[in-house]
Amino acid sequence: MDLNKKYAAHQHALIALDETDNAADRQKHRAEAKEIAGQIRSFQMSLGAAAACAWCALSLTAS
């Protein structure tokens, strides 16, 4: 997996989310960003990446 491409795609989805006023488009971009973030997290976790563990713990405390 090319993490740079995934991070860029995630950022583009977030920017598109921020720039649209259409509710359906916002939902589409939010889902896209969430899917990409999940792919990144899964990849990092499969490698035992320390950053992935920290992000996982952070997301649990933010809920």
How do the domains of the chain map onto residue ranges?
Answer: 3-62
Give the pLDDT of residue 30.
95
* Overall pTM surpassing 0.95 (yes/no): no
Question: In angstroms, rounded to a whole number, what is the distance separating the alpha carbons of residues 58 and 61?
Answer: 5
Express each pLDDT in 29-57 by its tens digit: 999 999 999 998 888 888 876 666 665 66
